[in-house]
Amino acid sequence: MKNILIVEDISETRKWLAQIVTVAFPASDIDDAPTVRAGMTALKNKQYDLAIIDLGLPDGSGLEILRKIKDKSPNTICVITTVMGDDAHIVAALSAGAQGYLLKEQPAELLSRQLKQLIEGIPALSPSIAQRIMEHFRLTGPAAETKNHLTTREQEVLALIGRGMRNVDVAQSLDLAETTVASHIKSIYRKLGISSRAEASWHAAQLGLRSNE
């Protein structure tokens, strides 16, 4: 890992992450960015081997940067570093292409060790995150042939809510009434046998559904 980008808004945490990255990859060249905008600017000027991305940034979500990287440079490894360990954020990040999800509460030595494993093709996952992912798959199971049971409009709605969009945003994007979107979501949940947006995000990824935006 030669060129590494750290996107984190808190300066002390940026320094802490830089130290962790330096331990994992001593010869690396590290750039940092405190906002989504600064991260986007950095991406215009250099191609990175690894991006360490926080989710909660002052001017938006780290997922915006993650999606931009995956669109511009698919070979760049992206690892989320955050304090948010709930299913919705985990699924949204992994569905967007993250190859790691690390909680900042972990000791620095463990984080460095998990980052080193990326070279061997091992995802950088906090133990608690790995357990949640396993439990999630156990509960949801495969989505075989489910796509055939969804209407074209339901697939469009699922693709958008799978990206974390709110009902009002989905309605505007598809030029539908918000009540109509709610009805489609209710039908999607019933057909997929799910009850949360985290599960919807996972199914959208499994079915290969992507928004046209």
Residue where a domain terminates, one of 78, 104, 129? 129
Q: What is the pLDDT of residue 190?
A: 86
CATH code of the domain containing 42: 3.40.50.2300
Please indicate, yes or no, whether residues 121 and 72 belong to a single structural domain of this protein.
Answer: yes
CATH code of the domain containing 188: 1.10.10.10
% pLDDT > 90, the chain: 55
Please give the mean pLDDT across all residues of the chain.
87
R_g of the chain, CA atoms, integer Å: 18
CA-to-CA distance for 95 and 161, rounded, in angstroms?
A: 12
Q: What is the pLDDT of residue 81?
A: 95
Please indicate, yes or no, whether residues 118 and 191 belong to a single structural domain of this protein.
Answer: no
Q: What is the pLDDT of residue 148?
A: 55
Please indicate, yes or no, whether residues 83 and 174 belong to a single structural domain of this protein.
Answer: no
Please indicate, yes or no, whether residues 122 and 151 belong to a single structural domain of this protein.
Answer: no
Q: What is the pLDDT of residue 196?
A: 80
Please report whether residue 21 resides in a domain.
Answer: yes
Please indicate, yes or no, whether residues 117 and 170 belong to a single structural domain of this protein.
Answer: no
Q: What is the pLDDT of residue 88?
A: 80
- Is 50 exceeded by the pLDDT of residue 97? yes
Please indicate, yes or no, whether residues 9 and 105 belong to a single structural domain of this protein.
Answer: yes
Segment 101-117 mean pLDDT: 92
Segment 73-81 mean pLDDT: 93
pLDDT tens for each residue of 145-157: 555 588 989 999 9
Cα–Cα separations (whole angstroms), residue 10 to 6, 17, 187, 204: 11, 11, 42, 33
Q: Are 196 and 87 in contact (CB under 8 A)?
A: yes
Residue where a domain terminates, one of 73, 103, 129? 129
Task: Measure the N-to-C terminal CA separation of the chain; round to a whole number of Å.
Answer: 32
Burial degree of 95 (CB within 10 A; 0-12, 13-18, 19+): buried
Residue 96: which domain range?
Answer: 3-129
Please indicate, yes or no, whether residues 93 and 22 belong to a single structural domain of this protein.
Answer: yes
CA-to-CA distance for 136 and 99, rounded, in angstroms?
A: 17
Q: What is the pLDDT of residue 184?
A: 93
Q: What is the pLDDT of residue 171?
A: 94
Please indicate, yes or no, whether residues 48 and 14 belong to a single structural domain of this protein.
Answer: yes
- Is 80 exceeded by the pLDDT of residue 141? no
pLDDT tens for each residue of 120-134: 888 889 888 888 777
Please indicate, yes or no, whether residues 51 and 124 belong to a single structural domain of this protein.
Answer: yes
Count structural domains, the chain: 2
Identify which has the larger pLDDT, 168 or 88.
168
Identify which has the larger pLDDT, 198 or 179.
179
Please indicate, yes or no, whether residues 29 and 116 belong to a single structural domain of this protein.
Answer: yes
Residue where a domain terminates, one of 74, 97, 129? 129
Segment 21-48 mean pLDDT: 94
